[in-house]
């Protein structure tokens, strides 16, 4: 079926897949491919993200297709929800716009041995303690302060550095993507301003769509996979969504300024200057990689310290240490990152740089980078929804390796800008609306809650149905929110 739209031709090539032909715009090196259903594609057609999918296809060395997940919406250069793999042996480039400003923004999920009935009466003291103890909001600093020497080691080593400090366990390291450390981190490529911003922000939640949420398992779809993760119906979980804070933002901002004239220097023509890039093996490309990896390691440490503080808060309120509560990390996945991985392309295995911006790794069972505990079921894929609706736990499927360089969606995806969301909710009390749904919300401002209202997001259930139907990831469990803290 072919649908002609004002945004250009869009061909439906499968129940959950749409194609942007490579002749849509002169200069496209590969096709675009968007994963969506009939209803989601209507939102996508009205979003500048569609054109951004085509623009990414201009990048030198791009392989396969410029890909977009069902939670796609417009971003800086790349769409949020975009995936792109480039081959350094074919002049492939690395682009900060393909990673984003919040480098290694990601999400982690922790299970417990608690059931909803165990904490129902303690829910308010729990969320109040978490809100009091965990710094949230723009520019907030926390209780962990690092000297220049310590911050260097943190950026180089990631979560294993915190393990040395007694702030992470071996299990925490093993259940974090890439072991919580991206190789090639070079703190010397991180500007003094970024160092300054990161010195007291590790272990802080931030603002915007970042959150810490207490959840309960609502429905189990795959009992064996859920059991391997320690999940069962009515069990309590904690989900954390945050990134590299001011340090990562500064790394991206610095890189975009440095790379402004670089494409022309290498003879690269781009349809949008926001796609500023450099050949992977060039000095400029290497410098960005080193700084980006340092910021990614900072982000993993940030989420680790947030989890550690959550463990301490639960222990204090419930009067039991977190080990007895079995507050164990299920998995941590990055949403905004560029990583070197090996993928089969054209019948041979090749090392490519996979940009995932608002997209999650979804490796299947038996993949060598899937943790041993999940080798038989596939890598856990954690998909947060909005704060008034469900979140999901999935596992990677073989289809992700065949279609999307081992990737799938990362969340619900915005439908409304923050300004539009605030306008739509004028005069309403979102915290009271959530309370009527049985969800306790704590935030630094009413505006912050308004920006993140449910109407601002696509229906995460529909987004998950697409990646499940396309065999990118498979449903394991659906989680219902009980309480949330926001910046």
Q: Domains along the chain?
A: 2-415+457-486 (3.90.1860.10)
Q: Say what the pLDDT of residue 447 is.
A: 86
Three-state DSSP class for 62? strand
Q: Say what the pLDDT of residue 329 is.
A: 98
Low-confidence ranges of the chain (pLDDT < 70): 1-8
Q: Say what the pLDDT of residue 139 is.
A: 75
Q: Say what the pLDDT of residue 140 is.
A: 78
Q: Is 416 exposed, middle or buried (0-12, 13-18, 19+ CB in 10 A)?
A: middle
The helix or strand, by DSSP H or E, that contains position 485, with its residue range, turns out to be: strand 473-486
Neighbours of 74 (CB within 10 A): 16
Q: Say what the pLDDT of residue 334 is.
A: 98
Question: Which residue from 112, 348, 334 is spatially nearest to 244, judged by alpha carbons?
Answer: 334
Give the tens place of pLDDT for each residue, 283-300: 999 999 999 999 999 999
Query: What is the value of pTM for the model shown?
Result: 0.96
Query: Which percentage of the chain shows pLDDT scores above 90?
Result: 88
Q: Say what the pLDDT of residue 141 is.
A: 83
Contact residues for 314 (Cβ-Cβ < 8 A; gap 6+) = 112, 126, 238, 322, 325, 327
487 vs 480: CA distance, rounded Å: 20
Residue 313 tokens read as 């808060």
Q: Say what the pLDDT of residue 46 is.
A: 83
Active-site residue list: 410
Give the tens place of pLDDT for each residue, 143-175: 999 999 999 999 999 999 999 999 999 999 999
Q: By the 8 A CB rule, do 77 and 70 touch?
A: no
The helix or strand, by DSSP H or E, that contains position 293, with its residue range, turns out to be: helix 283-318
Q: By the 8 A CB rule, do 476 and 221 touch?
A: yes
């Amino acid at each position: 079926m072919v649908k002609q739209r004002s945004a250009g031709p869009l061909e439906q090539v499968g129940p959950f897949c749409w194609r942007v032909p490579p002749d849509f715009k002169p200069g496209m090196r590969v096709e675009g491919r968007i994963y969506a259903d009939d209803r989601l594609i209507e939102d996508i057609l009205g979003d500048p993200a569609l054109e951004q999918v085509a623009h990414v296809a201009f990048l030198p060395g791009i392989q396969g297709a410029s890909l977009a997940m069902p939670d796609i919406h417009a971003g800086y250069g790349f769409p949020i929800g975009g995936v792109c793999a480039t081959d350094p042996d074919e002049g492939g480039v690395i682009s900060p716009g393909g990673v984003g400003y919040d480098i290694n923004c990601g999400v982690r999920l922790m299970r417990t041995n608690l059931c909803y009935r165990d904490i129902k009466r303690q829910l308010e003291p729990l969320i109040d303690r978490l809100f009091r103890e965990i710094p949230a909001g723009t520019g907030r600093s926390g209780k962990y302060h690092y000297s220049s020497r310590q911050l260097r080691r943190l950026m180089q080593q990631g979560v294993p550095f915190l393990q040395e400090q007694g702030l992470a366990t071996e299990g925490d390291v093993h259940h974090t993507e890439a072991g919580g450390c991206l190789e090639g981190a070079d703190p010397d490529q991180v500007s003094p301003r970024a160092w300054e911003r990161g010195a007291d922000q590790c272990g802080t939640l931030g603002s915007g769509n970042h959150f810490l949420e207490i959840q309960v398992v609502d429905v189990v779809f795959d009992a064996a996979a859920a059991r391997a993760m320690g999940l069962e119906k009515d069990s309590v979980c904690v989900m954390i969504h945050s990134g590299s804070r001011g340090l990562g933002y500064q790394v991206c901002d610095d890189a975009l300024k440095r790379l402004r004239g670089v494409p022309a220097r290498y003879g690269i023509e781009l349809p949008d200057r926001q796609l500023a890039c450099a050949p992977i093996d060039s000095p400029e490309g290497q410098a960005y990689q080193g700084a980006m990896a340092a910021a990614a390691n900072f982000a993993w440490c940030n989420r680790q310290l947030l989890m550690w503080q959550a463990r301490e808060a639960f222990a204090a309120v419930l009067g039991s240490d977190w080990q007895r509560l079995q507050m164990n990390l299920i998995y941590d996945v990055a949403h905004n990152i560029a990583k070197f991985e090996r993928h089969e392309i054209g019948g041979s295995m090749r090392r490519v740089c996979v940009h995932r911006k608002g997209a999650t790794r979804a490796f299947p069972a038996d993949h060598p980078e899937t943790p041993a505990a999940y080798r038989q079921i596939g890598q856990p894929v954690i998909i947060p929804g909005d704060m008034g609706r469900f979140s999901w736990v999935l596992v990677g499927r073989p289809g992700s390796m065949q279609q999307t360089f081992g990737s799938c969606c990362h969340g619900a995806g915005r439908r409304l800008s923050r300004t539009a969301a605030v306008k739509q909710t004028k005069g309403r009390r979102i915290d009271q609306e959530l309370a009527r749904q049985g969800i306790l919300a704590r935030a630094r401002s009413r505006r912050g809650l308004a920006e993140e209202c449910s109407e601002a997001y696509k229906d995460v259930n529909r987004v998950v149905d697409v990646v499940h139907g396309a065999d990118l990831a498979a449903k394991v469990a659906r989680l219902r929110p009980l309480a949330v803290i926001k910046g």
